């Protein structure tokens, strides 16, 4: 099975080779920069993840303009449909193949029913335009920036394709253990438990949007201008564009999304996810947010929630002949919803 998947990813990689090369070059620069700020034993972990969760997503964010606009749709066409649509495509993951009766006169009513469900799963449709824009500040940007965002989504597809391939190497596992250790070291003086929750994040914001690809543990001398101060269980954090920072020795270190944090503006690009009793939340590259008064709260992904795409950097595990994917301490099981594969949060298999 792995061989099959790897072969498939290879084809995708070849298809987008041009973009990938450009991205690698940018990534190398960024890696050096991070090395200076981070250093020590942590670098092995960072490097191990290079091409995985960290590959491109954040660099796409930094260099979104480098990846052009519509011209890259060609690569999108070649990509597998299940690779993260960021919640932005209606039926984007079913390849058009009849979800909810799509493409059938007889089943049109059924499709409408499902469309209602779809709307529930895409809360942006329930908002009016101004609310939508509040929640999606990128929509307020001009057209060229919108295209940059499009290229960002495009980039995410590349990323996920590459990262899944990358997952096949054992480096990802090494990376995770390195990350885990580093996170613990960094957090000795902290009382919160975010490293418990996120110990297996792989050291990156693996997911979508501008926050993606920021290396956990990377340090910055200054916060982004838009950073907002938060307090989670008494520990101060700063939040900007989907990335969380903690103060550390006069600098700011990127940390995984701390469970319990409440932000007004969710990360720039997320998919909707049904959280059951907690309503319709957001899956922001593997970080789950539940709607609360005043914004969105970082939560531990609940068992039973399902997402259309895995976080970048998710690692597959074969447990008694069944494939699971793990990311951020969360386990996913692939399942066919209609004619498309999606991923359901499950308890860690024994």
Chain residues binding other proteins by CB under 8 A are: 1-5, 8, 77, 80-82, 88-92, 94-112, 114-115, 117, 122, 124-125, 132, 136, 139, 306, 322-323, 333-342, 344
Burial class of 133 by CB neighbour count within 10 A (0 to 12, 13 to 18, 19+): middle
Minimum separation from the CB atom of position 85 to other proteins (A): 9
Q: Which residues touch 192 (CB under 8 Å, ≥6 apart)? A: 232, 233, 234, 235, 258
Minimum separation from the CB atom of position 15 to other proteins (A): 13
Q: Which is nearer to other proteins, 4 or 40 (CB)?
A: 4
At residue 268's C-alpha, the angle toward residues 90 and 264, to 5°, is 115
Helix/strand/coil for 324: strand
- What distance separates the 2 farthest-apart alpha carbons in the chain? 65
Q: Which is nearer to other proteins, 170 or 339 (CB)?
A: 339
Minimum separation from the CB atom of position 302 to other proteins (A): 15
Minimum separation from the CB atom of position 108 to other proteins (A): 4
Minimum separation from the CB atom of position 157 to other proteins (A): 12
Minimum separation from the CB atom of position 105 to other proteins (A): 5
Q: Six-digit token pair at 82?
A: 């299940």
Q: How far is CA 222 from CA 33, 94, 337, in A?
A: 15, 43, 45
Q: Which is nearer to other proteins, 96 or 236 (CB)?
A: 96
Q: Which is nearer to other proteins, 261 or 314 (CB)?
A: 314
Minimum separation from the CB atom of position 332 to other proteins (A): 11
- The C-alpha atoms of residue 257 and residue 56 are separated, in whole angstroms, by 20
Q: Which residues touch 323 (CB under 8 Å, ≥6 apart)? A: 1, 316, 317, 333, 334
Say if residues 182 and 42 touch (Cβ distance below 8 Å): yes
Minimum separation from the CB atom of position 55 to other proteins (A): 20
Q: Which is nearer to other proteins, 163 or 192 (CB)?
A: 163
- The C-alpha atoms of residue 207 and residue 209 are separated, in whole angstroms, by 7
Q: Which is nearer to other proteins, 82 or 190 (CB)?
A: 82
Q: Which is nearer to other proteins, 9 or 63 (CB)?
A: 9
Q: Which is nearer to other proteins, 244 or 342 (CB)?
A: 342
Host H or E run for residue 343: strand 340-346
Q: How far is CA 274 from CA 25, 196, 213, 230, 319, in A?
A: 38, 24, 25, 26, 26
């Amino acid at each position: 099975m792995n061989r099959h998947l790897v072969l498939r990813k290879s084809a995708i990689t070849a298809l987008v080779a041009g973009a990938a090369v450009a991205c690698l070059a940018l990534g190398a620069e960024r890696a050096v920069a991070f090395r200076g700020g981070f250093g020590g034993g942590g670098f092995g972990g960072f490097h191990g993840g290079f091409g995985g969760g960290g590959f491109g997503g954040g660099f796409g964010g930094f260099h979104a303009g480098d990846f052009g606009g519509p011209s890259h749709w060609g690569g999108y066409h070649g990509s597998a449909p299940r690779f993260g649509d960021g919640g932005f495509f209606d039926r984007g993951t079913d390849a058009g193949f009849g979800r909810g009766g799509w493409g059938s006169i007889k089943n049109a009513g059924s499709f409408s029913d499902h469309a209602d469900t779809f709307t529930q799963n895409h809360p942006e449709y329930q908002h009016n335009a101004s609310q939508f824009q509040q929640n999606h500040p990128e929509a307020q940007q001009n057209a060229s920036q919108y295209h940059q965002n499009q290229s960002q989504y495009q980039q995410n597809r590349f990323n996920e394709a590459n990262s899944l391939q990358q997952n096949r190497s054992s480096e990802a596992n090494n990376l995770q253990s390195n990350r885990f250790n580093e996170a613990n070291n960094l957090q000795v003086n902290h009382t919160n438990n975010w490293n418990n929750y996120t110990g297996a994040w792989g050291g990156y914001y693996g997911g979508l949007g501008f926050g993606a690809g920021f290396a956990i543990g990377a340090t910055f001398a200054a916060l982004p201008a838009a950073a907002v101060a938060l307090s989670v269980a008494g520990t101060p954090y700063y939040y900007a564009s989907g990335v969380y920072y903690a103060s550390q020795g006069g600098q700011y270190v990127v940390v995984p999304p701390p469970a319990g944090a409440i932000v007004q503006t969710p990360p720039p690009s997320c998919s909707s996810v049904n959280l059951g009793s907690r309503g319709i939340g957001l899956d922001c590259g593997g970080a789950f947010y539940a709607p609360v008064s005043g914004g969105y709260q970082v939560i531990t992904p609940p068992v039973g929630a399902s997402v259309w795409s895995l976080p970048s950097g998710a690692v597959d595990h074969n447990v008694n002949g069944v494939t699971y994917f793990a990311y951020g301490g969360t386990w996913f099981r692939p399942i066919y919803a209609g004619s498309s594969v999606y991923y359901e949060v499950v308890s860690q298999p024994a």
